[in-house]
Structure 1
Amino acid sequence: MQRIGFGGSCYWCTEAIFRSLVGVEKVEQGWIQAKQLGDFAEGVIVAFDESKISLQSLIEIHLHTHSATSEHALREKYRSAVYILDGHQRLQAQESLALLQGDFEQPLVTQVLDFKDFKLSKPEYQDYYFSDPDKPFCVNVITPKLRALMDKFDNKLTNEAKSVITKQS
Protein backbone atom coordinates (compact mmCIF):
# COMPACT_ATOMS: atom_id res chain seq x y z
CA MET A 1 0.00 0.00 0.00
CA GLN A 2 1.40 3.37 -1.08
CA ARG A 3 0.72 6.65 0.71
CA ILE A 4 0.94 10.21 -0.60
CA GLY A 5 -0.41 13.63 0.37
CA PHE A 6 -2.40 16.16 -1.65
CA GLY A 7 -3.52 19.71 -1.02
CA GLY A 8 -5.30 22.25 -3.16
CA SER A 9 -8.75 23.06 -1.88
CA CYS A 10 -10.63 22.47 1.35
CA TYR A 11 -9.97 19.08 2.86
CA TRP A 12 -13.67 18.16 2.83
CA CYS A 13 -13.70 18.48 -0.97
CA THR A 14 -10.32 16.83 -1.47
CA GLU A 15 -11.25 13.93 0.81
CA ALA A 16 -14.52 13.32 -1.08
CA ILE A 17 -12.73 13.31 -4.44
CA PHE A 18 -10.08 10.78 -3.45
CA ARG A 19 -12.51 8.72 -1.36
CA SER A 20 -14.52 8.23 -4.59
CA LEU A 21 -11.75 6.48 -6.50
CA VAL A 22 -11.22 2.81 -7.23
CA GLY A 23 -7.94 1.72 -5.65
CA VAL A 24 -7.97 4.29 -2.85
CA GLU A 25 -8.11 2.36 0.40
CA LYS A 26 -8.14 5.22 2.92
CA VAL A 27 -8.23 9.02 2.99
CA GLU A 28 -7.36 11.03 6.09
CA GLN A 29 -8.00 14.76 6.10
CA GLY A 30 -6.33 17.42 8.17
CA TRP A 31 -3.31 19.69 7.91
CA ILE A 32 -0.04 18.81 6.18
CA GLN A 33 3.33 20.39 6.75
CA ALA A 34 6.14 20.21 4.19
CA LYS A 35 9.83 20.11 5.07
CA GLN A 36 10.40 23.12 2.82
CA LEU A 37 7.65 25.25 4.43
CA GLY A 38 6.90 25.92 8.09
CA ASP A 39 3.14 26.42 7.93
CA PHE A 40 0.54 23.68 7.83
CA ALA A 41 -2.03 23.73 5.01
CA GLU A 42 -5.25 21.78 4.55
CA GLY A 43 -4.75 18.46 2.83
CA VAL A 44 -5.28 14.73 2.75
CA ILE A 45 -3.17 11.62 3.08
CA VAL A 46 -4.22 9.01 0.53
CA ALA A 47 -3.45 5.31 0.93
CA PHE A 48 -3.80 3.56 -2.43
CA ASP A 49 -3.23 0.27 -4.18
CA GLU A 50 -1.01 1.06 -7.15
CA SER A 51 -2.13 -2.13 -8.89
CA LYS A 52 -5.60 -0.51 -9.16
CA ILE A 53 -4.74 3.19 -9.60
CA SER A 54 -1.45 4.80 -10.53
CA LEU A 55 0.18 7.77 -8.88
CA GLN A 56 -0.01 9.56 -12.22
CA SER A 57 -3.81 9.01 -12.33
CA LEU A 58 -4.14 10.36 -8.78
CA ILE A 59 -2.11 13.45 -9.72
CA GLU A 60 -4.12 13.96 -12.92
CA ILE A 61 -7.39 13.80 -10.99
CA HIS A 62 -5.99 16.14 -8.35
CA LEU A 63 -4.97 18.74 -10.93
CA HIS A 64 -8.36 18.64 -12.64
CA THR A 65 -10.39 18.96 -9.41
CA HIS A 66 -8.94 22.13 -7.89
CA SER A 67 -7.56 25.46 -9.12
CA ALA A 68 -4.14 24.07 -9.99
CA THR A 69 -3.17 27.15 -12.03
CA SER A 70 -4.41 29.88 -9.69
CA GLU A 71 -2.44 31.81 -7.08
CA HIS A 72 -5.61 32.95 -5.29
CA ALA A 73 -5.81 34.77 -1.94
CA LEU A 74 -6.31 31.57 0.10
CA ARG A 75 -3.40 29.65 -1.47
CA GLU A 76 -1.44 29.51 1.84
CA LYS A 77 -4.33 27.70 3.52
CA TYR A 78 -5.10 25.65 0.40
CA ARG A 79 -1.59 25.00 -0.95
CA SER A 80 -1.62 23.26 -4.33
CA ALA A 81 0.78 20.42 -3.64
CA VAL A 82 1.74 16.80 -3.93
CA TYR A 83 3.41 15.78 -0.66
CA ILE A 84 5.85 13.00 -1.42
CA LEU A 85 7.14 10.46 1.09
CA ASP A 86 10.20 9.21 -0.83
CA GLY A 87 12.51 9.99 -3.74
CA HIS A 88 10.75 7.59 -6.11
CA GLN A 89 7.49 9.49 -5.61
CA ARG A 90 9.34 12.77 -6.23
CA LEU A 91 10.46 11.62 -9.67
CA GLN A 92 7.00 10.24 -10.55
CA ALA A 93 5.27 13.43 -9.35
CA GLN A 94 7.63 15.75 -11.22
CA GLU A 95 7.29 13.73 -14.42
CA SER A 96 3.49 13.64 -14.05
CA LEU A 97 3.26 17.41 -13.54
CA ALA A 98 5.46 18.04 -16.58
CA LEU A 99 3.39 15.67 -18.72
CA LEU A 100 0.02 16.96 -17.48
CA GLN A 101 0.95 20.65 -17.93
CA GLY A 102 -0.27 20.18 -21.51
CA ASP A 103 -3.84 19.81 -20.20
CA PHE A 104 -3.81 23.42 -18.97
CA GLU A 105 -3.49 26.79 -20.72
CA GLN A 106 -1.90 28.48 -17.70
CA PRO A 107 1.18 27.24 -15.80
CA LEU A 108 0.51 24.84 -12.94
CA VAL A 109 1.23 26.25 -9.47
CA THR A 110 1.19 22.77 -7.93
CA GLN A 111 4.38 22.04 -6.02
CA VAL A 112 6.07 18.73 -5.23
CA LEU A 113 6.96 19.00 -1.54
CA ASP A 114 8.57 16.68 0.99
CA PHE A 115 6.07 15.51 3.60
CA LYS A 116 7.04 16.46 7.15
CA ASP A 117 4.03 16.21 9.46
CA PHE A 118 0.28 15.66 9.52
CA LYS A 119 -2.42 16.68 11.99
CA LEU A 120 -5.69 14.82 11.64
CA SER A 121 -8.84 16.96 11.70
CA LYS A 122 -11.55 16.30 14.28
CA PRO A 123 -13.29 12.89 14.09
CA GLU A 124 -16.64 14.50 13.24
CA TYR A 125 -15.08 15.99 10.09
CA GLN A 126 -13.67 12.69 8.78
CA ASP A 127 -15.54 11.19 5.82
CA TYR A 128 -17.44 14.49 5.78
CA TYR A 129 -19.24 14.10 2.46
CA PHE A 130 -20.11 10.42 2.48
CA SER A 131 -21.31 10.46 6.09
CA ASP A 132 -24.10 12.93 5.14
CA PRO A 133 -24.13 14.19 1.53
CA ASP A 134 -27.31 16.18 2.21
CA LYS A 135 -25.51 18.80 4.33
CA PRO A 136 -25.75 22.22 2.64
CA PHE A 137 -21.98 22.50 2.05
CA CYS A 138 -21.97 19.05 0.50
CA VAL A 139 -24.92 19.80 -1.79
CA ASN A 140 -23.71 23.26 -2.84
CA VAL A 141 -19.93 22.80 -3.04
CA ILE A 142 -18.78 19.18 -2.96
CA THR A 143 -21.46 17.50 -5.10
CA PRO A 144 -20.79 19.81 -8.10
CA LYS A 145 -17.07 18.92 -7.88
CA LEU A 146 -17.93 15.23 -7.72
CA ARG A 147 -20.24 15.56 -10.74
CA ALA A 148 -17.38 17.13 -12.70
CA LEU A 149 -15.13 14.31 -11.48
CA MET A 150 -17.68 11.75 -12.66
CA ASP A 151 -18.01 13.48 -16.07
CA LYS A 152 -14.25 13.39 -16.71
CA PHE A 153 -13.10 10.29 -14.80
CA ASP A 154 -16.16 8.03 -14.65
CA ASN A 155 -14.08 4.88 -15.15
CA LYS A 156 -12.01 5.70 -12.04
CA LEU A 157 -14.96 6.05 -9.62
CA THR A 158 -16.33 3.37 -7.32
CA ASN A 159 -19.92 2.25 -7.81
CA GLU A 160 -20.67 3.48 -4.28
CA ALA A 161 -19.47 6.98 -5.14
CA LYS A 162 -21.39 7.02 -8.42
CA SER A 163 -24.55 5.99 -6.58
CA VAL A 164 -24.22 8.75 -3.96
CA ILE A 165 -23.35 11.43 -6.52
CA THR A 166 -26.24 10.41 -8.81
CA LYS A 167 -28.71 10.59 -5.90
CA GLN A 168 -27.65 14.19 -5.32
CA SER A 169 -28.47 15.21 -8.90
Structure 2
Amino acid sequence: MGKLKKIGLGGGCHWCTEGVFVSLIGVERVEQGWISSVAPNDAFSEAVIVHYDPDRISAVSLLDVHLRTHAAIKVHGLRHKYRSAVYYFDVSDRAQLTDLLILAGNEFAEPIITRVLPFVAFKPSLPEHRDYYRTDPGRPFCVRFIAPKLDFLRGYRGGVVR
Protein backbone atom coordinates (compact mmCIF):
# COMPACT_ATOMS: atom_id res chain seq x y z
CA MET A 1 0.00 0.00 0.00
CA GLY A 2 1.29 3.46 -0.97
CA LYS A 3 0.98 6.66 0.98
CA LEU A 4 -2.67 7.55 1.53
CA LYS A 5 -4.18 10.78 0.25
CA LYS A 6 -7.45 12.33 1.29
CA ILE A 7 -10.21 14.23 -0.38
CA GLY A 8 -13.51 15.62 0.90
CA LEU A 9 -16.68 14.92 -1.06
CA GLY A 10 -20.12 16.37 -0.55
CA GLY A 11 -23.28 16.39 -2.60
CA GLY A 12 -25.87 14.15 -1.09
CA CYS A 13 -26.69 12.40 2.12
CA HIS A 14 -23.49 11.41 3.91
CA TRP A 15 -24.92 7.92 4.54
CA CYS A 16 -25.11 7.40 0.77
CA THR A 17 -21.78 9.02 0.06
CA GLU A 18 -20.05 6.96 2.74
CA GLY A 19 -21.72 3.74 1.53
CA VAL A 20 -20.53 4.33 -2.02
CA PHE A 21 -16.94 5.29 -1.26
CA VAL A 22 -16.27 2.72 1.46
CA SER A 23 -17.15 0.10 -1.17
CA LEU A 24 -14.44 1.15 -3.63
CA ILE A 25 -11.22 -0.78 -4.05
CA GLY A 26 -8.36 1.50 -3.03
CA VAL A 27 -10.38 3.44 -0.46
CA GLU A 28 -8.98 2.60 2.96
CA ARG A 29 -11.24 4.67 5.22
CA VAL A 30 -14.19 7.06 5.01
CA GLU A 31 -15.08 9.60 7.69
CA GLN A 32 -18.72 10.65 7.65
CA GLY A 33 -19.96 14.04 8.87
CA TRP A 34 -20.07 17.68 7.85
CA ILE A 35 -17.43 19.84 6.16
CA SER A 36 -17.12 23.60 6.02
CA SER A 37 -15.06 25.68 3.64
CA VAL A 38 -14.46 29.40 3.20
CA ALA A 39 -17.22 32.00 2.79
CA PRO A 40 -19.71 31.86 1.22
CA ASN A 41 -19.42 28.06 1.72
CA ASP A 42 -18.51 28.21 5.39
CA ALA A 43 -21.71 26.64 6.73
CA PHE A 44 -21.26 22.94 7.52
CA SER A 45 -22.71 20.64 4.85
CA GLU A 46 -23.05 16.84 4.78
CA ALA A 47 -19.89 15.27 3.37
CA VAL A 48 -17.23 12.61 3.81
CA ILE A 49 -13.47 12.53 3.96
CA VAL A 50 -12.12 9.72 1.77
CA HIS A 51 -8.67 8.29 2.60
CA TYR A 52 -7.42 6.51 -0.49
CA ASP A 53 -4.37 4.86 -1.98
CA PRO A 54 -3.60 6.70 -5.26
CA ASP A 55 -1.70 3.63 -6.47
CA ARG A 56 -4.95 1.64 -6.36
CA ILE A 57 -7.60 4.25 -7.24
CA SER A 58 -7.04 7.59 -8.91
CA ALA A 59 -8.48 11.00 -8.13
CA VAL A 60 -10.03 10.84 -11.61
CA SER A 61 -11.94 7.67 -10.66
CA LEU A 62 -13.03 9.14 -7.34
CA LEU A 63 -14.37 12.29 -9.01
CA ASP A 64 -16.11 10.26 -11.70
CA VAL A 65 -17.84 8.10 -9.09
CA HIS A 66 -18.74 11.19 -7.05
CA LEU A 67 -20.31 13.01 -9.99
CA ARG A 68 -22.30 9.96 -11.06
CA THR A 69 -23.67 9.05 -7.61
CA HIS A 70 -25.21 12.36 -6.56
CA ALA A 71 -27.18 15.15 -8.24
CA ALA A 72 -24.11 16.96 -9.62
CA ILE A 73 -26.13 18.91 -12.19
CA LYS A 74 -29.16 19.71 -10.07
CA VAL A 75 -29.82 22.95 -8.23
CA HIS A 76 -32.37 22.35 -5.48
CA GLY A 77 -33.58 23.85 -2.23
CA LEU A 78 -31.46 21.59 -0.01
CA ARG A 79 -28.04 22.64 -1.38
CA HIS A 80 -27.32 24.37 1.96
CA LYS A 81 -27.42 20.91 3.53
CA TYR A 82 -26.07 18.98 0.55
CA ARG A 83 -23.40 21.17 -1.07
CA SER A 84 -22.02 19.61 -4.25
CA ALA A 85 -18.29 19.95 -3.67
CA VAL A 86 -14.84 18.46 -3.79
CA TYR A 87 -12.70 19.64 -0.87
CA TYR A 88 -8.92 19.74 -1.13
CA PHE A 89 -6.58 19.45 1.85
CA ASP A 90 -3.42 20.58 0.11
CA VAL A 91 -3.48 23.75 -2.00
CA SER A 92 -1.21 22.00 -4.51
CA ASP A 93 -4.16 19.68 -5.34
CA ARG A 94 -6.53 22.55 -6.22
CA ALA A 95 -5.51 23.05 -9.87
CA GLN A 96 -5.50 19.31 -10.64
CA LEU A 97 -8.94 18.79 -9.06
CA THR A 98 -10.33 21.81 -10.90
CA ASP A 99 -8.99 20.51 -14.22
CA LEU A 100 -10.33 17.01 -13.54
CA LEU A 101 -13.74 18.41 -12.66
CA ILE A 102 -13.87 20.44 -15.89
CA LEU A 103 -12.91 17.38 -17.96
CA ALA A 104 -15.42 15.17 -16.19
CA GLY A 105 -18.11 17.80 -16.63
CA ASN A 106 -17.76 17.51 -20.40
CA GLU A 107 -19.42 14.10 -20.18
CA PHE A 108 -22.70 15.53 -18.85
CA ALA A 109 -25.51 17.00 -20.97
CA GLU A 110 -25.97 19.86 -18.50
CA PRO A 111 -23.38 21.89 -16.59
CA ILE A 112 -22.28 20.38 -13.29
CA ILE A 113 -22.65 22.54 -10.20
CA THR A 114 -19.93 20.80 -8.17
CA ARG A 115 -17.25 23.17 -6.89
CA VAL A 116 -13.64 22.67 -5.83
CA LEU A 117 -13.26 24.22 -2.37
CA PRO A 118 -10.61 24.33 0.35
CA PHE A 119 -11.25 22.12 3.38
CA VAL A 120 -11.56 24.19 6.57
CA ALA A 121 -13.23 22.07 9.26
CA PHE A 122 -14.94 18.75 9.89
CA LYS A 123 -17.56 17.60 12.39
CA PRO A 124 -18.00 13.81 12.54
CA SER A 125 -21.40 12.15 12.59
CA LEU A 126 -22.60 10.48 15.76
CA PRO A 127 -21.13 6.97 16.16
CA GLU A 128 -24.50 5.28 15.59
CA HIS A 129 -24.76 6.90 12.12
CA ARG A 130 -21.28 5.94 10.91
CA ASP A 131 -20.70 2.98 8.61
CA TYR A 132 -24.44 3.01 8.06
CA TYR A 133 -24.52 0.82 4.96
CA ARG A 134 -22.01 -1.84 5.98
CA THR A 135 -23.53 -2.36 9.44
CA ASP A 136 -26.95 -3.19 7.97
CA PRO A 137 -27.32 -3.08 4.16
CA GLY A 138 -30.87 -4.44 4.54
CA ARG A 139 -32.20 -1.21 6.09
CA PRO A 140 -34.93 0.30 3.89
CA PHE A 141 -32.85 3.46 3.31
CA CYS A 142 -29.85 1.39 2.22
CA VAL A 143 -31.92 -0.80 -0.10
CA ARG A 144 -33.67 2.18 -1.68
CA PHE A 145 -30.79 4.64 -2.06
CA ILE A 146 -27.34 3.08 -1.57
CA ALA A 147 -27.65 -0.39 -3.13
CA PRO A 148 -28.84 1.02 -6.51
CA LYS A 149 -25.78 3.30 -6.64
CA LEU A 150 -23.48 0.34 -5.99
CA ASP A 151 -25.31 -1.72 -8.64
CA PHE A 152 -24.86 1.14 -11.10
CA LEU A 153 -21.13 1.34 -10.32
CA ARG A 154 -20.68 -2.42 -10.76
CA GLY A 155 -22.07 -2.08 -14.26
CA TYR A 156 -20.42 1.22 -15.09
CA ARG A 157 -17.01 0.98 -13.45
CA GLY A 158 -16.63 -2.78 -13.22
CA GLY A 159 -13.65 -3.58 -11.02
CA VAL A 160 -13.68 -0.58 -8.68
CA VAL A 161 -16.39 -1.89 -6.34
CA ARG A 162 -15.49 -4.50 -3.69
In the alignment of these two chains, the number of paired residues is 158
Q: Distance in 2 between matches of 1:47 and 1:81?
A: 16
1:44 match? 48
In structure 1, runs of 5+ residues without a counterpart are 159-169
Residues 56 and 92, structure 1, Cα contact 8 Å, conserved in 2:
no
Counterpart check, 1:65 vs 2:69: yes
Counterpart check, 1:109 vs 2:104: no
- 84, 95, 99: which one pairs with 2:99? 95
Within a 5 Å distance, the mapping from 1:19-168 to structure 2 comes to 19-36=22-39, 37-158=41-162
Stretches (4+) displaced over 6 A = none
Residues 87 and 116, structure 2, Cα contact 8 Å, conserved in 1:
yes
- 16, 30, 51: which one pairs with 2:19? 16
Q: Distance in 2 between matches of 1:101 and 1:141?
A: 23
Calculate the aligned-residue CA RMSD, in Å: 0.9
Q: Aligned residues: percent identity?
A: 48
Q: Distance in 1 between matches of 2:35 and 2:121?
A: 6
Greater helix content:
1
TM-score norm. by structure 1 comes to 0.91
Amino acid at match of 1:40: F
Residues 55 and 92, structure 1, Cα contact 8 Å, conserved in 2:
no
In structure 2, runs of 5+ residues without a counterpart are none
Deviations 1:116-148 (A, max 9, x none): 000000111111001100111111111112111
TM-score norm. by structure 2 comes to 0.94
Q: Distance in 2 between matches of 1:54 and 1:92?
A: 12
> SS in structure 2 opposite 1:6?
strand
